[in-house]
């Protein structure tokens, strides 16, 4: 029980800390790509602290409830990941949190929030089936949905599930809100003046959505690390290279429409997933 409590606390504490540092590094590297100096590494923390100190203004009570539900789901999913729990349970909880964020945007009458909410639903429609297929591939290889079974492997999952790792990179691009799939909202000012489904969030509520996104970032990169659990250094290198690749794609790609996203995500993503699954089944 003591070990589990420590893991839960580690998961809850690492989300805001690691997520904020990763966000700061993202901003700096993005600025370098655009020939700018960029903000300091801790700028995301300064922004969140400033938002928390502003007056709390909400469109309706339901919107505030949805933001807190989104943050709660993201933090619980991250804590369960640190507990090495069931992958399907973790994915279900993070999906519930994402749904609450969409419902909060739908509760507003703003056309920008409504459009952003519809786009977010399309993004979920694209990446959620891919996450399930990745989990099924892990089950085929390990015989369990438990993360502990991945940790017990003698060789990296990447060697057995290379195509599924490519599919995971599609999901990362969508969930991290990177171009060309940042349809519903973007974390960079060069994309749009109106912030999609987060348009009507301000002050402390906007800060909570940012903290929840940090949790999701840590969770997704942790998911990525499962493909190389045999060596901590190898896992860190894999996660680092993958995230650098996502930042590079974000800065060299233009935003595409939702039809292109679904066609590319479902067409390429599901095709690669099925090829990898058939390969595992035929072995």
Mind listing the pLDDT tens digit for each residue in 125-137? 989 999 999 999 9
pLDDT in tens, 103-127: 988 888 888 888 888 888 889 998 9
Q: Average of pLDDT values for 269-275?
A: 88
271 to 40, 164, 256: CA distances (angstroms): 41, 10, 21
pLDDT of residue 245: 92
Average pLDDT for the chain: 87
- pLDDT above 90: residue 23: yes
- pLDDT above 60: residue 146: yes
Higher pLDDT, 158 or 265: 158
Question: How far is the C-alpha of 246 from the C-alpha of 232, rounded, in Å?
Answer: 21
- pLDDT above 70: residue 226: yes
HSE-CB at 34 with a 13 A cutoff on CA atoms is 17
State both tokens at 271. 């095709």
Q: Average of pLDDT values for 204-223?
A: 93
- pLDDT above 80: residue 185: no
Closest CA to 270 of 159, 160, 152, 134: 134
pLDDT of residue 18: 93
- pLDDT above 70: residue 213: yes
């Amino acid at each position: 029980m003591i070990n589990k409590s420590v893991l839960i606390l580690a998961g809850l504490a690492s989300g805001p800390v690691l997520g904020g540092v990763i966000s700061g590094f993202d901003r700096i590297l993005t600025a370098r790509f655009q020939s700018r100096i960029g903000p300091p590494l801790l700028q995301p923390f300064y922004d969140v602290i400033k938002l928390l100190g502003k007056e709390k203004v909400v469109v309706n009570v339901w919107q505030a409830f949805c933001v807190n539900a989104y943050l709660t789901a993201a933090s619980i999913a991250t804590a369960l990941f640190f507990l090495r729990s069931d992958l399907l349970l973790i994915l279900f909880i993070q999906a519930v949190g994402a749904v609450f964020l969409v419902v909060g945007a739908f509760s507003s009458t703003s056309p920008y929030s409504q459009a952003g909410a519809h786009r977010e639903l399309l993004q979920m429609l694209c990446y959620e089936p891919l996450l399930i297929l990745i989990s099924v591939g892990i089950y085929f290889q390990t015989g369990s949905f438990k993360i502990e079974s991945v940790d017990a492997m003698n060789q990296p999952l990447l060697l057995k599930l290379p195509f599924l790792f490519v599919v995971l990179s599609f999901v990362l691009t969508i969930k991290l809100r990177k171009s060309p799939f940042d349809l519903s909202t973007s974390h960079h000012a060069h994309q749009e003046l109106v912030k999609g489904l987060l348009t009507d969030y301000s002050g402390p509520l906007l800060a909570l959505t940012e903290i929840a996104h940090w949790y999701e970032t840590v969770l997704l990169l942790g998911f990525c690390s499962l493909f190389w659990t045999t060596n901590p250094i190898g896992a860190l290198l894999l996660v680092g290279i993958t995230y650098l690749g996502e930042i590079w794609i974000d800065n060299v790609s233009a935003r595409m429409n939702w039809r292109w996203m679904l066609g590319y995500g479902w067409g390429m993503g599901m095709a690669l997933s099925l090829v990898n699954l058939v390969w595992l089944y035929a072995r």
